Structures are given as C-alpha cells and as structure tokens.
Chains A and B, each alone.
Chain A
Amino acid sequence: MGAHLSWAYTDKVKDHFMNPRNVLTDDQFEDDGQGVVGNIQCGDEMMVLIRVDKGKGTITDCKWKTYGCASAIASTSVMSEMVKGMTLDEAFNISPKAIAGELGQLPDHKIHCSVLGDKALRAAINDYYQRNGMPEKVVQEQARIICKCMNVTDHEIEEAVLDGARTFLELQERTKMSTVCGKCKDDADTLLRVYIKKHFSRA
C-alpha cells in the first residue's frame, strides 16, 4: 500500500534498517577499541567497538549501538560489515561516500546522519592505538566543525577549495554545508577567502 511505495530509501537501506547487522547485544563483549561520537542533545549518538588481530593489524569484529535515525542505523550496519578484514589503515580511511555508495543512495538531507559511523570507527581505532602503546599512530581529528548542522569541518572546506570551490554556492554544493540553519555562512565566507588566499594567491 501507499506507505510502502513511498519509502524514501533504497532496498538495501531498508534491509539494513530492518535487520541491522552487528548490533552490540552482548554487554560483556571484549573490545580492543571503543569510539563514541555525537550527542543525544543533537539528536544522534554512535558507539563503535572493534576487535583487532594484533599480529596482522586487521579488524576481526565490529559491533555498534546508536541513538539515531534510519540512515544512521543503516549506514553503520553496512559499515560494520565492510570493515571486517580491513587493515586498521584501510578502515581508518573509509569515507562516508564509500559507505553511502555501498548502500546505494541516501537522500541528500540524510547524508549528515550517516557520517557518525565512520567517525566513531576512527575514534575506536585511535582508542586501540592508545591502549596498545602506539600513541604515535593516533591521528587526532583536530578539524574544527564549522557547520554544526551538516557536520562540515574547516578541513573539508579546505578540501573543497582545493577541489575548485571559489564561491559560497560552490562550497555549499560540494560540502552541503550551511544548508540547514545557515548560521555558519559568515564563518564559511571567511574561511573560503582564507583558503583561496592560502593555496591560490599569486602574491
């Protein structure tokens, strides 16, 4: 009936939403790394736990829990399957784009819900390094979030500029930033000028 015809997500999103894989059910799960990102006050929170084959440096298991919407649930579910068997480096560099790609497609306004999983995963990998006496391997995400609504950092703005963005509109197109509340527009304009000057100024 009607309600089902209008399902806004792909069959794969729907499948992972209905039957999420690797949800943490065992409270005694012994992890080698734990990452928690987000905040229930903002409407979503994510916890990712990993087990690591210390000899090979690969992820053998990935469990998660979330306070989040359908997109967060589906994207983290699919991510938890993708990272098993990956090296820590590979897993650390998994992008939201790759996850969304694996899912088929997410509605544009849902992309920001799906970045929580990979953020929590990176936090879990960093936690693993800390616990195992490899603090030098920890990659701090020192990026500053400029657009709180869409979770866009100054790093991503810089990347977008490097990628060719020269106007605020082009920045919006590439990053989806400032498309919700719009409060970050002034900051974005300033950073746009800063990064254009930094990388492309001839002076």
Chain B
Amino acid sequence: MAIKQVYMDHNATTPLHPEVIKVLSETMQVFGNPSSVHGYGRIARQYVEEARVKVAGFIGALPEEIIFVGSGSEGNNTVLSIIMCPSLHCSCERKGGSGIVTTRIEHPCILETAKCVADRGNNVTFVGVDEYGKVDMEELEASINARTGIVSVMMANNEIGTLQDIKRIANMVHKKGALLHTDAVQAVGKVPVNVKDLGVDFLTLSAHKIYGPKGVGALFVRRGIPFCPLIHGGHQEQGRRAGTENTLGIVALGKAVEMRALEMNEEGKRLRELKRVLKRGIEDAIPDVAFNGHPTDSLPTTLNASFEGAEGESILLYLDLEGIAVSTGSACASGSLDPSHVLMAIGVPVDRAHGSIRLSMGRSTTRDDVAYVLDKLPKVIRKIRDMSTVYAGRKH
C-alpha cells in the first residue's frame, strides 16, 4: 500500500512549478549563446533579457540592477568578496571601509565567507540576536564604525523563519555610511520584497526556493554601487559575472517570479492559517513542546518546534517512514556534533536544540497534509519518548 507523501521541507528546496516545467520544455531548443550576434544568439539574448525584466519588476529593481548568478550562495559570496578588493574604484563608495558586520544566524554561505574575509585580515563582526531571532539593533549600530564597508543581514531566517526589519536596518546602516546587503533567499516569493522600499544596496535571491530550478539565482546591485566580480573573464552580465548565461535556468527563474507575483499573496494568507492550525494541533496533542522563532514576524511557511526528550534525527527518520519530509536542527543529522547555530544564537538550550525539527510548507501544502502530520507526529514523538532515557518512565 502506497503511503501518503507530505513534503514539509520547502525551505530546503521546492518542486518546479507546472508553469516553469512548461516554459522549460518550450524553451529547451533555445541553444544560442546570448552573447552571439547572429540570430541564434539574439533569440537567446531576448529570452534572458525578458527574464531580467520580470525578476527586476518582481522586486522593484531596474533590469540593469539584476545580475544572474549560479546560486544564492554565489550571490552572497560575491557581495562579501567585494570588500576584499582594494582598488579605488571598488572601494570609493564605501569610503575605503573594509570591514563586514553581519549576524550570528546567517546562512553558512555568509558566515563562512565572512570568516574567510576575516582570515585575510579584514575586520568582521557577528552581531547577536534576541530569543526570537531578531537582530539586536543596538549591538548592530554599535558594531558599525568608520571602517565598516558592508553590513549583511538576512531578511528571513531559513531555520526559524524570523523576519528582520530590513527597512529600519537600511536606514541606520546608511546613516552610518556603510552599504547594506540582505540575503533574501528565503523571503523573496513568500513575503513582499521591494528593494526601493527596503532601501538595500544588495539583495540575493534563488530560483529553487520559489519553484524554479537549482543552479540559478539573482543578485540585485543598486545602480551606482561599485562592484567587483567574483567570477572574472567575460563580459556577460555587464562584466559583473563571467560565464555563458544559463539561458534555460534564467528563463525558468523569470517564469517562477511571474508565478510568485500571481500566487504569493493568497497563498501567504492560506499558509499562515495552516501554520496556525499546525502549531495549535501540535501544542494540543504533544506535551513539552516549544516553538522557535518569532511568534508573528515570521515566514507564513515555517514552523520550528523542539520536543523535550526526543532526538531530532530520530524524529526526522520516523516521519520519513510515514512519508513526511522535514528537516532537523539536531547535530546527528548533519554529521557534526554541534546543533544548529541558529538555535544556539537564540539561546535554545543544547538538549532542546537536539530535539528540534523544521516544518516548512509551500504552495502545494493542503489542509489534508497538515492533518496527516498532526496524526503521525504525536505518535512518533510518543514512540521516541517511550524509549528515551530523559523523558518517560524510568530515568537513570
């Protein structure tokens, strides 16, 4: 008997939107190099530029402010690497500032790049967050000094869903003379994002989080901001990102944002309600549970819960056996011993962090899916707790 399959891991990646599949299959035979002058090239160029207009329009940018990149990670690496360029052209806008200020809850592609920048002799500060994952504004402000070049704060956290007040942060960062980058990979397509309104200088987004394919993303660089490429050796993307454009991926990203524009708002309301049902259901059925993240300023899709006495990887695998896909902040699943750096940063005790799972919903998530999870999850937690040394019955 085939068991029901419920995908609750949309923050990891998403399935392709049917319209994206359609446009991909229709465009499959477009093979010209967009840089070629002949007809084949011009056709491909047209597809790329149409997609650029769509992506720009979706986030309130100008088309020339959009650089297509190979992933969200590449976009984030690119922005932080600018700081290492000592040329006058690159550094004049940030007045020579060579330091980076970021937060403790960023994605590893920011944290690790920042550490690499620090290893090369630049000043890097990691700012803390409160118990809900909101950036400590006072600490952030105090960390930015005359030597700070770029501040990078993620818009929505991938593990706990907490949203930052990027507009307020941008105001403050600009008053202090630095530039602001936001990693909006988890925010774009789930909540409204407008670069003009937010006032950011750089923004990263990724296609595969919004029902597009893997291997393509976009970096917004505000007009007039000096820029230094990460990948050199070609005139593509206004000389900002070498490498023949991923035409099919770019077309798919264009379609993905087009569909997001149509579906996002209604879907957001629907998912916020489902998240409320899911959270209430878990609270009602399972004792000794705690939720991680901000209660209101958070993605409508993301719920992170810690279950006392139950180890996260076990929860994940028992749910997997029931056809439910989630992820965990437990160390055991990742092969390291340290639990999630995000949960540590918001002050979740280590034992609770080991027992945490993330449920992230998406456009295909139904009320039935939520009901199925609410049927299976309490049984799984009970089973694990029944054999736990630190929960039910005889403890040591």
Please list the residues of chain A having a beta carbon within 8 angstroms of any beta carbon in chain B. 1, 3-4, 7, 17-18, 20, 23-25, 27, 29, 34, 36, 40-47, 65-70, 73, 109, 113, 148-149, 180-181
Contact = CB atoms under 8 A, between A and B. Distances in A.
18 contacts: A3-B325, A4-B320, A20-B387, A23-B386, A23-B387, A24-B387, A36-B396, A43-B311, A65-B387, A67-B388, A67-B390, A67-B391, A69-B311, A69-B313, A69-B330, A73-B314, A73-B387, A180-B336
B: interface residue count bin: 20 to 34
A68 B309 CA distance: 10
B387 A17 contact: no
A40 B393 CA distance: 17
Given A3-B325, A27-B394, A66 B336 contact: no
Contact of B314 (A4, A65, A68): A68
Interface in B303-325: 309-311, 313-314, 317, 320-321, 323, 325
Nearest to B323: A3
B351 A149 contact: no
A25 B386 contact: yes
A45 B320 contact: no
Given A1-B323, A3-B320, A18-B321, A43 B331 contact: yes
A1 B2 contact: yes
Interface of B: 2, 5, 309-311, 313-314, 317, 320-321, 323, 325, 330-333, 335-339, 350-351, 354, 386-391, 393-394, 396
Contacts of B325: 3
Nearest to B393: A27
B314 A70 contact: yes
A24 B390 contact: no
Contacts of B350: 40-41
A47 B394 CA distance: 10
Contact of A149 (B5, B337, B339, B386): B337
B5 A3 contact: yes
Contact of B337 (A7, A24, A40, A148): A148
Contacts, number: 88
Contacts of A41: 350-351
Contacts of B331: 43
Given A70-B313, A70-B317, A73-B314, A43 B354 contact: yes
Contacts of A27: 393-394
A3 B339 CA distance: 24
B332 A44 contact: yes
Given A36-B396, A73-B387, A43 B339 contact: yes
Contact of A180 (B309, B313, B323, B335): B335
B317 A17 contact: yes
Contacts of A23: 386-387
Contacts of A40: 350-351, 354, 389-390
B150 to A, nearest CB: 29
B337 A113 contact: no
Contacts of A17: 317
A1 to B, nearest CB: 5
Nearest to B351: A40
Given A36-B389, A36-B396, A43 B314 contact: no
Contact of A181 (B314, B336, B394): B336
A47 B126 CA distance: 40
A46 B395 CA distance: 11
Contacts of B394: 24, 27, 29, 65
A47 B392 CA distance: 13
Contacts of B387: 20, 23-24, 65-66, 73
Contacts of A43: 311, 330-332, 337, 339, 354
Nearest to B333: A69
A-B pairs, 5 with minimum CB distance: A109-B335, A69-B332, A69-B313, A36-B396, A27-B394
Nearest to A23: B387
Nearest to B312: A69
B227 to A, nearest CB: 35
Nearest to A64: B387
A25 B331 CA distance: 27
A10 to B, nearest CB: 14
